[in-house]
Amino acid sequence: MLSLKKYLTEGLLQFTILLSLIGVRVDVDTYLTSQLPPLREIILGPSSAYTQTQFHNLRNTLDGYGIHPKSIDLDNYFTARRLLSQVRALDRFQVPTTEVNAWLVHRDPEGSVSGSQPSSGLALESSSGLQDVTGPDNGVRESETEQGFSEDLEDLGAVAPPVSGDLTKEDIDLIDILWRQDIDLGAGREVFDYSHRQKEQDVDKELRDGGEQEDTWAGEGAEALARSLLVDGETGESFPAQVPGGEDQTALSLEECLRLLEATCPFGENAEFPADISSITEAVPSESEPPALQNNLLSPLLTGTESPFDLEQQWQDLMSIMEMQAMEVNTSASEVLYSSPPGDPLSTNYSLAPNTPINQNVSLHQASLGGCSQDFSLFSPEVESLPVGSSATLLPLVPSSSTSLNSTFGSTNLAGLFFPPQLNGTANDTTGPELPDPLGGLLDEAMLDEISLMDLAIEEGFNPVQASQLEEEFDSDSGLSLDSSHSPSSLSSSEGSSSSSSSSSSSSSSSSSASSSASSSFSEEGAVGYSSDSETLDLEEAEGAVGYQPEYSKFCRMSYQDPSQLSCLPYLEHVGHNHTYNMAPSALDSADLPPPSALKKGSKEKQADFLDKQMSRDEHRARAMKIPFTNDKIINLPVEEFNELLSKYQLSEAQLSLIRDIRRRGKNKMAAQNCRKRKLDTILNLERDVEDLQRDKARLLREKVEFLRSLRQMKQKVQSLYQEVFGRLRDENGRPYSPSQYALQYAGDGSVLLIPRTMADQQARRQERKPKDRRK
């Protein structure tokens, strides 16, 4: 069993990741909804239902990105979500080839497999230099992600090798099913968690019988997956298809799988999705890009991160990365971004991102650098200085003080006239080494922002579309597990009914044995209108309803002193199936309880033991004080009924006091639980808000870059027009005006005047002062 689990988590899921990497849609959600109870039990082990730990783990990992409201392992959770979202991003074909390549590149130096697997055809010819860049000082979260993936890839390598298929079809199917089940159980997440998996491995190692051959298993599983998922590639769905063929397909090599996948999967723009570096290089020139430039672009990417990146290249990288992002969001947006005509002086001058294919290139580049954040952290100084270079190229005439003919005349003035004066002012006044050009400054800022944006984007596996989808899923999730919606108002309202929404939704979604049996007695109990939580407590209530017996109190006292003794009471076994207060049962209920069979399997003593331990202190106290009704009633009954109940019995002062304490504590307990859930919910909502804001920021930045680009184009055009007009002007003697002495100026009414340069300078200075003051 355990070894099976190991194989599932290690091999199959990793292969799934691999498939995702190459674009096969692996819809985990499909598997999430389909539950295969026995297998779950196999994987989790029969005792999983009895320990809170696993229960929490289950909840946390159930769907790969779910989270138990009470388990605020946010870091893990976010990491897992990030990873999963990235994987999901892959399955939607929106994955930039970069990432795929990046991971594969990372893979190589780790020693092993993918690099040494020619058949996989996935290993890029990553140089060791590339690997170095993947170094330690990543951004915090990026490094997490990267490492997570690289680690996964490390294991992925173990899956990659083409397998010598010995397994029967049944085996494969079983593995397939188990694998799905594993995903159901959240292994998808755990697999990503390297340490976790490592731990698991350690445990499993002890129990493994050792006879099995892991690689074969994993490989077979991978194959099975590949085959089943091939079908998915056609349909776009990822449910594991029944393997139509027989052993022939079992022998399907990974390479063949990949080829098939390439053939079957609609890659859209990336139809020529490169399975290896050669295909990349082949694919790239096929686009509109001139081969020479391609080579230029590619060579540094492929050969590694040789330090001397020239500014151009960085600029290209940056732009293409941004384009990549834009493509992720909206292909049309990217088109707009790079809609500049081929002959556009801008793009030629600055080697701005060429029209299309650079995406792949830069993707590759990015990949080889092992993450954007690193790229930029590494080269940030250059990036900062980049605008200088670009602006210098952009406006070679910037130093206005010099009237040298070298600088194209008038451009400065024109810029000053054409652009807001403060911009020109910065250009003129701070002509120093820093930011001679206003646009440069803007661009600089933009790029720095963009850099951080890149970090964010990468760190979040950012893709607005995916993010929104993820958001939806997330919403539904939180709706399930957390009994509150986003808005505080609805939140409070839902909780007003004593956590009814949470428990009801959860119990309805995952009806467990407990709740089913509970509901019947619940109806008998007639605890009308009191929260659905109480239905899980019914057994205790039933017990209470039966009446209170002296002998019982004895036992209870015993059990209170020594809980273990309770276990030997046969009729108590089923009693107090859930002695905890409201929330706990609901949580248990909603959690992935193993199928009823598992519960039955569990030894009854164990169960009683467990249940006894589950008894709260107040319950023990209540029994000790011979309180004739259940804590459940004490706590959950409405005041009137509660008082009625109290009046029915002759209770001592101590008993009454205890009852009131129990009620108070019970209420407070629920309140605390609600409070915590709410807190967690708030955090999650905030996180979502942050994501939204990050998306907005990214979008705005892209727009900004876009605007700047068009601005630059216009500037360029105006400049050329200016030159043309100015060059044609002749004075009374038929001689051209000296650009050092005259300048063209636009008047407010649209007319153009030729004025002496001194005047123009003065005007420009005058105009630039105002906005500067306004700035301050």
Of 138 and 498, the one with the shorter C-beta distance to DNA is 498
Of 199 and 554, the one with the shorter C-beta distance to DNA is 199
Residue 164 in the binding site for DNA (CB under 7 A): no
Of 355 and 616, the one with the shorter C-beta distance to DNA is 616
Give the span between the Cα atoms of 31 and 189, in whole angstroms: 13
Closest separation between CB of residue 68 and DNA, Å?
Answer: 7
State the DSSP code for 752: E
State the burial class of residue 195 (Cβ atoms within 10 Å of its Cβ: 0-12, 13-18, 19+): exposed
Quote the tokens at residue 114.
């993918």
Question: Which 464-493 positions form the footprint of DNA (CB under 7 A)?
Answer: 492
Residue 642 in the binding site for DNA (CB under 7 A): yes
Residue 583 in the binding site for DNA (CB under 7 A): yes
Residue 681 in the binding site for DNA (CB under 7 A): no
Sign of CA dihedral 513, 514, 515, 521: positive
Residue 341 in the binding site for DNA (CB under 7 A): no
Closest separation between CB of residue 527 and DNA, Å?
Answer: 14
Residues 6+ apart with CB under 8 A from 571: none
Question: Which 66-105 positions form the footprint of DNA (CB under 7 A)?
Answer: 70-73
Of 198 and 278, the one with the shorter C-beta distance to DNA is 198
Of 77 and 149, the one with the shorter C-beta distance to DNA is 77
Among 266, 268, 496, 736, binds DNA (CB under 7 A): 496
Among 33, 53, 128, 650, binds DNA (CB under 7 A): 53
* Residue 567 contacts residue 619 (beta carbons within 8 Å): no
Give the span between the Cα atoms of 173 and 241, in whole angstroms: 9
Of 107 and 677, the one with the shorter C-beta distance to DNA is 677
Among 219, 585, 666, 739, binds DNA (CB under 7 A): 666
Q: What are the CA-CA distances from residue 356 to residues 98, 283, 327, 444 (Å)? A: 15, 12, 11, 24
Give the span between the Cα atoms of 63 and 84, in whole angstroms: 10
* Residue 755: strand pairing partners: 743
Q: How large is the C-alpha radius of gyration of the chain?
A: 34
Among 613, 648, 730, 766, binds DNA (CB under 7 A): 613
Closest separation between CB of residue 703 and DNA, Å?
Answer: 38
Closest separation between CB of residue 311 and DNA, Å?
Answer: 45
Give the span between the Cα atoms of 766 and 327, in whole angstroms: 43
Give the total of residues touching DNA (CB under 7 A).
41
Of 315 and 581, the one with the shorter C-beta distance to DNA is 581
Q: Which amino acid type is present at position 246? A: G
Residue 52 in the binding site for DNA (CB under 7 A): yes
Residue 675 in the binding site for DNA (CB under 7 A): yes
Stretch that binds DNA, among 157-165, 402-410, 534-542, 662-670 (CB under 7 A): 662-670
Give the span between the Cα atoms of 213 and 409, in whole angstroms: 77
User: Which of 173, 208, 176, 204 has the alpha carbon at shortest distance from 190?
Assistant: 204
Residue 584 in the binding site for DNA (CB under 7 A): yes
Of 66 and 440, the one with the shorter C-beta distance to DNA is 66
> Using CB under 7 A as the criterion, what x/- string covers residues 1-20 for binding DNA?
--------------------
Give the span between the Cα atoms of 538 and 524, in whole angstroms: 9
Given the structure tokens 């909206």, which residue do they identify?
A: 330
Give the span between the Cα atoms of 469 and 680, in whole angstroms: 21
Q: Which amino acid type is present at position 39? A: L
Residue 616 in the binding site for DNA (CB under 7 A): yes
Given the structure tokens 């002086």, which residue do they identify?
A: 345
* Residue 746: strand pairing partners: 752
Given the structure tokens 């049962």, which residue do they identify?
A: 585
Residue 618 in the binding site for DNA (CB under 7 A): yes
Residue 669 in the binding site for DNA (CB under 7 A): yes
Give the footprint of DNA on this chain (CB under 7 A). 51-53, 56, 70-73, 492, 495-496, 498, 580-581, 583-584, 587, 613, 616-618, 638-639, 642, 661, 663-676, 678-679
